[in-house]
Amino acid sequence: MASNPFSLEGKVALVTGANTGLGQGIALALAAAGADIAAAGIVPADETGEKVKALGRRFLNIEANLISIEPVERIVAETVAGLGGLDILVNNAGLIRRADAVDFSEKDWDDVMNVNIKSAFFMSQAAGKHFIAQGRGKIINIASMLSFQGGIRVPSYTASKSGIAGITRLLANEWAAKGVNINAIAPGYMATDNTAQLRADEDRNKAILDRIPAARWGEPADLGGTAVFLSSAASDYVNGAVIPVDGGWLAR
């Protein structure tokens, strides 16, 4: 093992949905550990790119709408061509739609499932072909507290994040012996655009904070250490894990 097993020097990481929030926090943590970053998403990650470059790392922006799987092969190919390789994939891009289950629409079901689970699987497949061929690679899926719990008013989000936990284990079973580590991070309640409605609801905000032992909402930077660990040689014997980063929510 390297003298610093957490170093990502010389590595290339592809992060989907890295323009803001959790994806941006993860991309910056990986860049600070030494990785060059490709960001793929429907919204250009210009701010993320500026911050990555300020850390002395290379940055590649790839515009792609992951509500369809059509661009996944192109995203991997552009990353390899633009940055000279691919070592790490972070499936972070995600959607959430809120409505009572009795009123939930087919479109809201399909849109969320297409981005959150279908695109994550096929991004993993495209990157996995590259990783298996080179004999090494790291895939990090972004799960959720709702990979463990049911939630309310987010049926497609709950289904997709439960699926992420299952797909993470399935891919680990198939690819661990091929040198590919597949794991997931399950963020707790994070202060991002996806939770703006919850934080604006005084009663829901209080109920959430009352259950979190750390007594605060998480920040995107809180995922950085776990993302670096799962991307680095330090996690070479970690396979199929879903690691909560939740301020103690699940322990309560």
- Token output for 44: 């250009």
Question: CA distances (Å), 30 to each of 10, 18, 37, 191, 197, in order?
Answer: 11, 12, 8, 20, 29
* Rounded-to-integer distance, Cα 137 and Cα 179, Å: 7
Measured between alpha carbons, how far is 194 from 20 in angstroms, rounded to an integer?
Answer: 11
In the DSSP assignment, the letter for residue 111 is: H
Contact 70, 47 (CB under 8 A): no
Is 157 noted as a catalytic residue in this protein? Answer: yes
Give the burial class of 66: count Cβ atoms within 10 A of its Cβ; 0-12 exposed, 13-18 middle, 19 or more buried: buried
d(CA 8, CA 229): 10
Calpha distance 178→10 (Å, rounded): 21
Give backbone dihedrals phi and psi of 240, rounded to 5 degrees, phi first.
75, 20
Annotated catalytic residue within 59, 121, 131, 157: 157
Count of beta carbons in the 10 Å neighbourhood of residue 41: 23
Give the Cα separation of 251 and 70 in Å (integer).
Answer: 40
Residue with tokens 């497949």: 125
User: Which residue in 130, 35, 121 sits closest to 80, CA to CA?
Assistant: 130
Q: How far apart are CA 111 and CA 128, in angstroms?
A: 24
Q: Which residues are catalytic?
A: 157
